[in-house]
Each structure stands twice: as C-alpha cells, then as structure tokens.
Structure 1
Amino acid sequence: MRIVAKKNLLAFCMTHAAARQSLLAWHEEAAKAVWATPQDIKDRYASASFVGHNRVVFNIKGNAYRLIVAVAYRIGVVYIKFIGTHAEYDAIDAATIELEW
C-alpha cells in the first residue's frame, strides 16, 4: 500500500516519542501490505475498527494512541486522517476528521 502523509507520522513522533516505534512498525507493515478488502485488514489487526467512509481506526501502542486512515482499496492507497492520543480521539468524529496540514 502507498501511505500518504508519512511526514505527519514523523512529526507526531517528534512530540510523542513513546508512539514512535509502534507507528513506524505500523507504517512498515502497511507499506508492504496488499489490502483489497476490509477483511484483509481485520485478518492482521483484529482490534481495528471500521467507522464508515472506508476509514479504519488502529490502536497504537496498546491503545494509548489512535491512528485513523482512509483506505482506497482499488488503487492501493492509505490516507492518514488523524493521529492522536486516546483522549484526543474521544473528542473527534472518526468518520469525518481530516488531517490538518
């Protein structure tokens, strides 16, 4: 999969060092993955949640952080929409949040 907005992952890691290893591991796995359906994601990430609009919520570092992506299955692209703490996640709408550039 092609990941759009890796720079935002790296920027988040600069301010949340505890998330760095887990986020970079997720990125590496996702970049090598071939997700054709939501089931492909669920097979690897049992705790992933699907919130509509092809959005997937990943628990990062034991659920301390949340990562929301939109997956374009047909073209093999993953768009990062949100990265934050669990508390920050609770304050947003996962189905509509857009990453601020």
Structure 2
Amino acid sequence: MHIISWAKIRDFVDQHPTSLGSMRTWFDCLESRMYKDFNDLRTIFPSVDRVRLKSGQDRYVFNVAGNNYRIICGIHFNRGKVYIRFVLTHAEYDKGAWKHE
C-alpha cells in the first residue's frame, strides 16, 4: 500500500519519542503489501476497526503499541492508498474530536 504520509507519524514521534519503534513497525507492515479489502486487512491487523463517520466516510482505526496509540486512516483499497488522518494517544482518541473531521 502507498501510505500518505510519514510526516504525520514523524510529527507525533517528535512529541512521543518512545513510539518510534511501534510506529515504524506499523508503517512497514502496512506498506509491505496490498490489501484487497477490510477483511484482508484484518488478517494482518486483527484489531483494526472500521468506523463510519456522520459524513458517510469510513475510517480505519489501528491500535499501536499495545493500544497506547491510535492511527486513524482513510483507505482506498481499489487504489492501494492509505491516507493517515490522525495519530493520537489513547487519551486523545477517547475525546472523540477526530470523528468530526
């Protein structure tokens, strides 16, 4: 998959340096192959959740580093594109502001 973009992860890692290893592992694993659909994605990332926003768009929520961090993405499986929308701590995720994008 083509992931857009590492910059959001880099900015997060600047604030949370201990997250680098987990973020790199997630990025490399997602980038290393194409996923045809949500079910295929769950074979590698069993804890990923699909969330439908009020706008009707789907977002995919990945638990990273033992559920300490969340990466929220838009994914176009047919194009092989992953758009990172948010990289959050668990506490930031729980506030739910990301649902109103």
Q: TM-score, normalised by structure 1?
A: 0.88
Structure 1 letter corresponding to 2:50: F
Deviations 1:12-68 (A, max 9, x none): 111101211011111111111211100011111111111022311010110011110
Please name the residue that 2:44 is paired with: 44
What CA distance in whole angstroms lies between the structure 1 residues aligned with 2:41 and 2:67? 17
- Indicate conservation of the 8 Å contact 1:54/1:72, yes or no: no
Please name the residue that 1:21 is paired with: 21
1:7 aligns with 2:7: yes
Q: TM-score, normalised by structure 2?
A: 0.88
1:55 aligns with 2:59: yes
- RMSD over equivalenced CA pairs, Å: 1.3
Please name the residue that 2:91 is paired with: 87
Q: Return 5+ residue gaps in structure 2 as ranges.
A: none
40-49 or 87-96, larger mean C-alpha shift: 87-96
Q: Return 5+ residue gaps in structure 1 as ranges.
A: none
Number of residue equivalences: 97
